[in-house]
């Protein structure tokens, strides 16, 4: 199976870093637990943002709720990338050719594009809205897409082990 993976991923797995992760008693488990904890925090922050975009928590000022949750989501996402890199590096040549992992990468890209569209478009039309004002359709679409994409990412992540 190893020979199917692009050389760069074989090299990553066989690097000193890859060996260190595999040979350490705690690094891989810490990466594993950290990845899940970061996911929980990320999911919580994203859920608050998406619920607000969908029109829930209507009594709150959208700008404040969205921007605070956004800070938490970004921090958790960085932690997820870091811990994910640990898990990936240990077994890069197999994981990279795993179909579910490839779908997961595509979904993460979709999630980030959705985020960028929100960041540079939709956001402007919602952050200054007063509490109780209905959300525009574009905000609802962004919220719905977001929750759907990130749920699918989580489902794919867990499924890597089965394919």
Partner 1 sequence: MLKAPMLRAMTAVTALALVAGSAFAHHGWGSYDAAKPVTVEGAILTSKYENPHATVTVRSEGKVWTVTLAPTSRMSSRGASEKIVAVGKQVSAYGYPSTVTPDEMRAERITVDGKTYEMR
Contacts with partner 1 by CB under 8 A lie at 21-29, 32, 36, 39-40, 43-44, 47, 50-51, 54-58, 90-91, 140, 147-148, 150-151, 154-155, 157-158, 161-162
3 state SS for 2-24:
HHHCCHHHHHHHHCHHHHHHHHC
Measured between its terminal Cα atoms, the distance across the chain in Å is: 13
Q: Nearest distance from residue 123's CB to partner 1, in Å?
A: 19
**φ, ψ dihedrals at 95, nearest 5°:** -65, -40
**Closer of 44 and 136 to partner 1 (Cβ):** 44
Q: Which is nearer to partner 1, 58 or 105 (CB)?
A: 58
Minimum gap (Å) between residue 14 Cβ and partner 1: 13
Which burial class, exposed, middle or buried, applies to 102 when counting CB atoms under 10 A from its CB (0-12, 13-18, 19+)?
middle
12 vs 21 by CB, closer to partner 1 = 21
Round to whole Å and give the CA distance between 111 and 105: 10
Give me the least distance between CB of 90 and partner 1, in Å please: 7
């Amino acid at each position: 199976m190893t020979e199917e993976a692009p050389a760069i991923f074989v090299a990553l797995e066989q690097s000193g870093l890859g060996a260190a992760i595999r040979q350490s008693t705690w690094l891989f488990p810490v990466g594993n637990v950290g990845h899940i904890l970061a996911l929980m925090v990320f999911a919580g922050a994203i859920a608050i943002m998406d619920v607000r975009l969908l029109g829930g928590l209507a009594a709150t000022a959208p700008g404040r709720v969205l921007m605070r949750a956004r800070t938490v989501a970004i921090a958790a996402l960085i932690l997820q990338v870091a811990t994910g890199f640990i898990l990936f590096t240990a077994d890069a040549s197999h994981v990279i050719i795993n179909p579910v992992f490839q779908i997961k990468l595509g979904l993460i890209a979709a999630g980030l594009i959705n985020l960028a569209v929100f960041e540079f478009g939709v956001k402007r039309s919602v952050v200054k809205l007063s509490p109780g004002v209905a959300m525009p359709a574009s905000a609802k679409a962004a919220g719905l897409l977001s929750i759907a994409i990130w749920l699918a990412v989580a489902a794919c992540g867990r499924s890597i082990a089965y394919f």
